[in-house]
Structure 1
Amino acid sequence: MKPIVQKLPRQEFKSFVSITMSTPIFETPWHRHIENEILYIQEGHGTAIIGDFVGEFSPGDLFYIGSNVPHWFRKAQKDIFCTVVVIQFDQAIFGQTFLKLPEMAKVRQLIRLKQGMAVGYAGQEEIIGSIKRLVEVEGFPHISTLLDILHQISSHTQNSLLTHEPIDSFDSKGIIDEVLEYTFEHFQENIRVEEVAAIAKMSTSNFRRFFKLNTKKSFSGFLKEIRIAHACKLLKDKNTFISQIFHQCGFRNITNFNRQFKEIKGVTPTAYRAAIYRS
């Protein structure tokens, strides 16, 4: 399986991509592209992997993904319908002279970001209107609306960086995508790194190095984050007992589940659920 160095087609009379994508076009493997990307989740939920970040996505989420940051979005269940507004642009469309203008300082810093970011826009929902409008407009409003969106994103103080270490290496044979798919299919089971290494057709030691190089995580750490992300989804249902949840996430006992959940989220599963229903 070849990895995608993705390049979405753009209309001839537009300088960058601004489209709405729905299932099944929404589903893509582990991929990257030179273009910066803005993703607004309109419908659907699941797990997002952006660089070395593993977490959830749900309706209303807004992500900014820098140039060449690998990412992968997977629906929670195969029968879920997902819809996302996708904006992809190469910073070269602005030209270096324009980007150096003092008025462009914040935008310049944003589009040169080589990380993934969650955009917080509480109380400033006009940015979502601009993103939706961008899909429809043509001509000068198409480029001016993009600039306005970038200005709004770069000016927000509620944004939070999701990635930490840049991933310079990128799997050229599609092995990472195959490993991710297998992990999501079997994370509720007792997965051993030896069996995943066999899928990758590598020795265990070589696979550990390869996975760390391409994700900035150990495989065991990645598996733990996938399990905890699934637990977070289940905790939103207050009718599901925590004593049931840890089994469904691949943990062997509740003590280990509580310890690893707190290690990732900073709070116990009980406190995490309580916070959901306080908000």
Structure 2
Amino acid sequence: MKPIVQKLPRQDFKSFVSIMMSTPTFETPWHRHVENEILLIKEGFGTAIIGDYVGEFAKGDLFYIGSNVPHWFRKAYEDLFCRVVVIQFDQSIFGSTFLKMPELTATNKLIKLKQGLAVNYALQPTMVDKIEQLVDAEGFEHIGTLLDILHQISTQTQNTLLTHEPIDSFDSKGIIDEVLEYTFERFQDNIKLEEVAAIVKMSTSNFRRFFKLNTKKSYTKFLKEIRIAHACKLLRDPNRFVSQIFHECGYRNITNFNRQFKEVKSMTPSAYRKEIYRE
């Protein structure tokens, strides 16, 4: 069975993890850990699931994931190379009183946040440099730079809250990971709820309850979000027509695709493409 609690190796002379990871160690199962995590995507793109959020990740993205928030990252296709800077730290390294200092109010609030954020560092371009420096930093510079990064993230007002409803229940048998893998491999097909339930040896009604308890959404909604996330990646290619894309996302007609795309992204596929080119 795949591990569900990821514990990255920490060097003895460092109090927290700061490493560069690349394919294939970048790919992880649905998992969680007590450590808070900062992820800077250096290369690659694909699908990210963080708590009850389903969306894209791409080069330059910066994520903050709170303690025990389950997450899952998958590159867009098998041969794609991905590279990411990973910072994992347990809030206990700061002791019981340090974060209570009034100067660290915002930082303390961030560290205790049990949700996921997409960090907008446009107004703080040095943040990326500091995150990369942590990989090789030692001594005071290692812990001092982490505090600086956390302060910058905590005072950045343009961050996007990705998760909404905390997931208190967590599947300890790897069933959710099995469902995610199956869905990610077959979302282009006409997947039926009954067949997914059968794969994990549950009745349809039990599976429906189990999946919602562990993800805070129905399987039908989850499948829709996976398909739309894939559509968003395809829409970045100017040589693809919307009339071609919907077939590659598991939809049988363009009307249903347009409707479901708008439900998830609050805009039409064409409007989404225009928004991308405006960036």
- Is TM more than 0.5 here? yes
Once the two structures are superposed, what CA deviation does each residue of 1:219-271 show, in whole Å capped at 9, x if it has no partner? Answer: 00000000000001111112111111111100110000000000110111111
TM-superposed CA distance for 1:128, in Å, is 0.3
Number of residue pairs matched?
279
TM-score normalised by structure 1 residue count? 0.99
Give the AA of the match of 1:29.
P
1:195 aligns with 2:195: yes
1:229 aligns with 2:226: no
Contact kept, 8 Å, 2:2 with 2:29, in 1: the verdict is: no
Q: In the alignment, what sits opposite 1:142?
A: 142
Instruction: Give the 3 Å change call, closer, same or farther, for CA 187–213 of structure 1 in structure 2.
Output: same
Structure 2 distance, partners of 1:274, 1:218, is 30
TM-score normalised by structure 2 residue count? 0.99
Structure 1 distance, partners of 2:242, 2:27, is 31
Structure 2 distance, partners of 1:3, 1:216, is 22
Identity of aligned residues (%): 77
Q: In the alignment, what sits opposite 2:12?
A: 12
CA RMSD of the aligned region, Å? 0.7
Q: What residue ranges of structure 1 are gaps of 5+ in the alignment?
A: none
Give the AA of the match of 2:223.
L
Contact kept, 8 Å, 2:4 with 2:172, in 1: the verdict is: no
Q: What residue ranges of structure 2 are gaps of 5+ in the alignment?
A: none
Q: In the alignment, what sits opposite 1:214?
A: 214
Runs of 4+ more than 3 Å apart:
none
Give the AA of the match of 1:258.
N
TM-superposed CA distance for 1:100, in Å, is 0.7
Contact kept, 8 Å, 2:106 with 2:155, in 1: the verdict is: yes
Q: In the alignment, what sits opposite 1:51?
A: 51
Q: In the alignment, what sits opposite 1:71?
A: 71
Once the two structures are superposed, what CA deviation does each residue of 1:199-234 show, in whole Å capped at 9, x if it has no partner? Answer: 111000000000000000100000000000000111
TM-superposed CA distance for 1:30, in Å, is 0.4
Q: Secondary structure at the match of 1:84?
A: strand
TM-superposed CA distance for 1:156, in Å, is 0.4
Q: In the alignment, what sits opposite 2:62?
A: 62
Q: In the alignment, what sits opposite 2:171?
A: 171
1:154 aligns with 2:154: yes
Contact kept, 8 Å, 1:15 with 1:93, in 2: the verdict is: yes
